[in-house]
Amino acid sequence: MRRTFLSLLLAISVLGQAVVPQTPAGRVFTAWLAAFNSADPAQIRAFEQTHRREPRPLEETLGFREQTGGFTLLRIEKNEPLSLVVLLQEKNSDTVGRLELVVSSEEPPKIVSSPLRAIPRPSDFAVPRMTEEEALQALVARAEELAKNDQFSGAVLVARHGEVLLRKAWGFANREVRTPVTPDTQFRLGSMNKMFTATATLQLIEAGKLVLDDPIGKHLADYPNKDVSSKVTVRHLLTHSGGTGDIFGPDFTKNRLRLREHNDYVKLYGSRALVHEPGAEHRYSNYGYVLLGALIEKVSGMSYYDYVRSKIFQSAGMKSTDSLPETEKVPNRALGYMRRDAAWVSNADTLPWRGTAAGGGYSTVDDLFRFTQALESGKLISKAMVAEAIRPQREEYGYGFGVQGEGPLRSYGHGGGAPGMNGDLRVFPQLGYVLVGLSNLDPPAAARVVDFFALRMPATP
């Protein structure tokens, strides 16, 4: 009994700091944290060979280490001989993650599972709130520090109650000729484009051309897989609950430059079976949003690109937003850079021929701010429909908008990320804040900067 009590005390704290227990799971965690934080390839490789049956690729681990800067142990949440649950904080950001480590009983112990997931920052580790001016100054200082360390290149806009408080840029839009980023630089959006697709879909619902519970086969009568066409509805597609799967993988890589229209994707993926029964799960589906693009084209009689250009971008005054093919020159569009072997290299060989309803296209921080103003004013869809779109429909997702936080800190928006691009838009209706960050570097370059301000801005309306 005394030994158990002392072990518990050791597991909780010493001088206010979490101490890892000397259990099999505790020893593996200690060894992993030391190896990971060291950034030493030899030490990381030795850990992987000792404690994993299938070692992870070294380049992948080193890339994650560079992105996070390593981890600091915040708290031990669960302590059992063969399992450990801990809270960790990235050294390069305020991001907190929960690691759930399970090891085998053999010697040396092998990792059975080790998922590490980002979580909302616990209240007992809350970052102190600042005045608005202090938070803005801190944001600028943080962005400048990241840019100086070659960890951020992009633009940021902060507005409140319709007034722009900060509009600033850092880094290079073209590293080869050292063209600086400006607030007017156009950045690729990744999945942020889903907000436009969802808004277009909701416009067509309000116009009576679509119904939320229409099966897609009602409008795409020749859809190849009849199970998908008869069971998957517009609502399922909007909420990522249709079981329609992704578009990325070997087939995409092989056909990247031949996939030019939404129908090309349907021809390639339309015969696939469902990943899960429609409505049974919330599982992010890029292909689901491609299908929304195909539906928009079918019921509107316009190409997806013409529709969003005329019904959303022009209506909202977004003159620097579009989705032209990569073969067309866009003078103010930033080049994207992804991290490979500790260097920034072009992401050109990863880009699709053209953005789709699932993601892609490009915009500016100003245009995304204009989008939020047009949306909230009821100019794009009715205010009642906006309320439905930004309300959680499935888990923390509405109709094309992610939803997070509670009370005054309740926000909606969407992020986007792929090699060489990252963006984040957050709208806090009660507080009146709109935060926009765009970057031409790997995720989470922009999201990290937006997060920094969101954790420090005033939290009272």
Q: For the chain, what is the total number of helices (H) and then of strands (E)?
A: 16, 17
Distance (Å, rounded) from C-alpha 121 to C-alpha 125? 7
**Local confidence band at 13 (pLDDT 50, 70, 90 cut-offs):** very low
**Local confidence band at 17 (pLDDT 50, 70, 90 cut-offs):** low
CATH code for position 248 = 3.40.710.10
Q: Is the entire prediction scored with pTM above 0.85?
A: yes
Q: What is the pLDDT of residue 2?
A: 37
Buried b (16+ CB within 10 A) or exposed e, 299-318: bbeeebbebbbebbbebbeb
Distance (Å, rounded) from C-alpha 416 to C-alpha 443? 8
The C-alpha torsion from 176 through 180 and 185 to 189, rounded to 10°, is 60
Residue 130 lies in a domain: no
- Is residue 428 a contact partner of residue 458, using CB atoms and an 8 Å limit? no
pLDDT tens-digit map of 220-247: 999 999 999 999 999 999 999 999 999 9
Backbone angles phi, psi at 120, to 5 degrees: -60, 145
Are 255 and 299 in the same domain? Answer: yes
Residue 349 lies in a domain: yes
Are 173 and 65 in the same domain? Answer: no
Are 401 and 345 in the same domain? Answer: yes
Are 120 and 158 in the same domain? Answer: no
Q: Strand 411-418 to strand 421-428: parallel, antiparallel, or no bridges (unpaired)?
A: antiparallel
C-alpha distances (whole Å) from 76 to each of 2, 101, 239, 381 are 21, 11, 35, 47
What is the residue whose two structure tokens read 């995304």? 368
Distance (Å, rounded) from C-alpha 455 to C-alpha 60? 29
Average pLDDT estimate for 39-55: 96
Are 298 and 429 in the same domain? Answer: yes
CATH code for position 76 = 3.10.450
Q: What is the pLDDT of residue 282?
A: 96
SS3 for 120-148 is CCCHHHCCCCCCHHHHHHHHHHHHHHHHH
Token pair listed for 27: 């020893």
pLDDT tens-digit map of 161-199: 999 999 999 999 999 999 999 999 999 999 999 999 999
Are 181 and 82 in the same domain? Answer: no
Count: domains in the chain: 2
Q: What is the pLDDT of residue 342?
A: 84
Distance (Å, rounded) from C-alpha 407 to C-alpha 132? 19
Distance (Å, rounded) from C-alpha 402 to C-alpha 409? 14
Are 103 and 18 in the same domain? Answer: yes
Residue 311 has pLDDT above 80, yes or no: yes
Are 347 and 231 in the same domain? Answer: yes
pLDDT tens-digit map of 75-126: 999 999 999 999 999 999 999 999 999 999 999 999 999 999 999 999 999 9
Residue 320 lies in a domain: yes
Host domain of residue 115: 2-125
In single-letter form, the type of residue at position 99 comes to: L
Domain final position from 108, 125, 142: 125
Q: What is the pLDDT of residue 3?
A: 38
Residue 461 lies in a domain: no
Task: Round the average pLDDT of the chain to a whole number and report it.
Answer: 94
The C-alpha torsion from 290 through 293 and 298 to 299, rounded to 10°, is 130
Average pLDDT estimate for 350-362: 95
Residue 386 has pLDDT above 70, yes or no: yes
Average pLDDT estimate for 349-359: 96
